[in-house]
Amino acid sequence: MPDEEMDFMPIIPLNETEGENLDDTNIPEELPILPLRNTVLFPGVVIPITVGRDKSIKAVNESYKTDKMVGVLAQKDSSVEDPQITDLVEVGTVAKIIKLIKMPDGGTTVIIQGRKRFRMKKIITDEPYFRANIELLGEDNIVNDEHFDATVSSLKDLAAQIIHLSPNIPSEAAIILRNIENASFLIHFISSNLNSEVKEKQSLLEIDDLKKRSEKLMHLLQRELQFAELKNKVTTKTKTELDKQQREYFLQQQLKSIKEELGGDSNDRELQDMIKKGEAKKWPKAAKDLFQKEIEKLERMHPSTPDYSIVYNHVDLMLDLPWDEITKDNYDLKRSKKILDADHYGMNKIKERILEYLAVLKLKGDMKSPILCFVGPPGIGKTSLGKSIANAIGRKYVRLSLGGLHDESEIRGHRKTYIGAMAGRVIQSIRKVKSSNPVMILDEVDKVGKDFRGDPSSALLEVLDPEQNHSFYDNYLELEYDLSKVLFIATANDINTIQPALRDRMEIIELNGYAMKEKVEIAKRHLIPKQKEAHGLKDVNLNLNDKVIEEVIENYTRESGVRELDRQIASIMRSMAKDYAINGKVKSGLRVSDVHRILGKPRYSNEIYKNSPLPGIAVGLAWTYVGGDILFIESILSEGKGDLKLTGNLGNVMKESASTALTYLNANAKKLNIDQELFKKKDIHIHVPEGAVPKDGPSAGVTMLTALASAFTGRKVKPYLGMTGEITLRGLVLPVGGIKEKVLAAKRAGLKELILCWQNEKDVQEINSDFIKGMKFHYVKNMQQVLDLALS
């Protein structure tokens, strides 16, 4: 039979040592070079390759006609179609062409056997194909090495395990492996069939030391075995799960058939009850159609299927929602006013706004509910006022706490496809109160969070927009719901942290802190009766007169609201309850000395404002989200170069106010009788106590200038004097905000005189004159007036 017509060629050579024992003299020093794209040839291994490139076909044909020897080199990058000599690796294998087969499509398949490793020394020509000078690389003959023998044995075992775990490799491969005796050929055969990248195979071929090559191969085999085990585990697990699901499906179908024979079950009765409820429900057409569709879906599903509970819960929510169910408003304005006055002392502006809303409803019969936002310090009754409003107009009340909310889905709901999905908090609240027109309190709207899960503030835009909320879409409900009849009341401590677009949709009503007289009345009307009842003293004759309450307010609290006052009254009541439990009686009227005995020594004192022991200290007024507060500004001069140092955790605006004040004094030193040289020879240090508390804003400008002027002139600031206002480089005093809070804080602290901008006079006039009795106000236009009034 002619050589070209052989139709069978073994991949394993019949003589394993054939490739190894070839005499080096039979291999010429100059060989045609055959680039291989996706594989690496190892000595002794037989592989078939398809030759398609013109250069490669010429090289193979030319070699086949002569000594049938070619130098095989792997390409560095298999994507290169026409490789140059720089695209080939340097170390390859001398191969003998065993068989050349012409294919019907014009291509050529060549069966080659690796002989010896070689290194390419120099390229001779690249036309019509690559020819190069080569240097043969030898192999060490390892004899009687137990470590090497053990490695070879381990390689056989690892390869056998991979064959066993890989369904694509025929089991005969394991038999072939077991029958290979030559260690070198075994290493080369396994390396050739390794499921690794060409780079890793090439690195194996380039290792001269056979022992090191076997150790590297061991590492690669172990990695491949781990991958094969993991792949087999995943495949087995998936198959098991599919088998389990099929088994459950057949069992469920059988169970369904048995139940049908027995005449139905409890799930059918539940569905019938749902259908009856749905027929009695007054709801929009879209809701009715969706309900019908979901019921039909439930009838087709088996109760034990995973989707059944999802659809069931959705239908249950639709039935529970009060689609057109509203409570009737009480339009008796006198009664409403009486309830509001009984529940809360003061707050006239809010009460007037609610009565206006009721009046329009009474006259018109229908009106879009306003979106109100109560802004004020903690503890003044913003949240409880919402409940009082609900009682006054005869509506149901529900509270939605937004503090720390950071997921948009909490407002709009989760999509039903998620595990544990539920409707948004708005829809849940409506479902809870069973009314479409409740008073809904959105508590702490200024403390809504924002992160990668979404921005709840943006979701609230739809809820709080009267033009949009008649068709609020909840992702879980998958229907539009009318929220236009809901009276939304938001509460906040700091309006600046509310998103501007959200703030624009709300009617802001500012609530100021309570004055002394208001706190006394609140204590007498609400706090004392509440704490007496809470401590079992409801029927005991126990009274706190105005003087005692004022003592508690003045010396034991510093707040805009009444929470701390409530806690102090609770402490007094606990002490009284203990006395009553031990002695069976208590004093009917408490004295100031009793307050000191129960609550301890006074925590706060107004004496610190009486005298400024040193020049350079002034008292300012500040506004924080917890209300007004008193702020000391301290300044001192020391030897230096005229540097300004600011401490006390100050913000950028406050630092700029200090720089402005210093520049103004420097520019007007002569007019103010200040030695100009002081600004060059003295360092100025301004400190604002309570350094742990961040401070910012322009309102401390006049206070800083007064403190600096006092330090430079050596004149003390008048006692019991406070001030607030922004300053300019020209020495003008500008108005600031939060005047009522600041004035009430000054009154609480015992200050007797205040310096304010003349434009803030209107704000002072809005304060009840009884609350600021005994205080003197100075309204100024420029800093010269401030210094004339402040410095003694």
- Name the residues annotated as catalytic: 699, 742
**Cβ neighbours, 10 Å, residue 59:** 23
| Three-state SS letters, 284-334 | CHHHHHHHHHHHHHHHHCCCCCHHHHHHHHHHHHHHHCCCCCCCCCCCCHH
Burial class (CB in 10 A: 0-12, 13-18, 19+), 366: exposed
d(CA 505, CA 503) in angstroms, rounded, equals 5
Give the residue ranges of DSSP H helices in 496-642: 500-504, 516-522, 528-534, 546-556, 563-583, 592-599
Among 197, 7, 233, smallest CA distance to 101 is for 7
Query: Phi and psi for 196 in degrees, rounded to 5?
Result: -130, 170
β-pairing verdict for 372-375 and 487-492? parallel
Among 28, 41, 35, smallest CA distance to 86 is for 35
d(CA 11, CA 15) in angstroms, rounded, equals 12
Evaluated on CA atoms 498, 502, 504, 507, the torsion sign reads negative
Among 2, 4, 64, 5, smallest CA distance to 34 is for 64
Name, in order, each residue with C-beta under 8 angstroms of 289's C-beta and a sequence gap of 6 or more: none
Q: Which residues of 503-527 are buried (b: 16+ CB within 10 A; e: fewer)?
A: bebbeebebbbbbbbbbbbbbbebb
**Token reading at 196:** 């690794």
d(CA 122, CA 71) in angstroms, rounded, equals 13
Query: Phi and psi for 704 in degrees, rounded to 5?
Result: -65, -45
DSSP state letter for 524: I
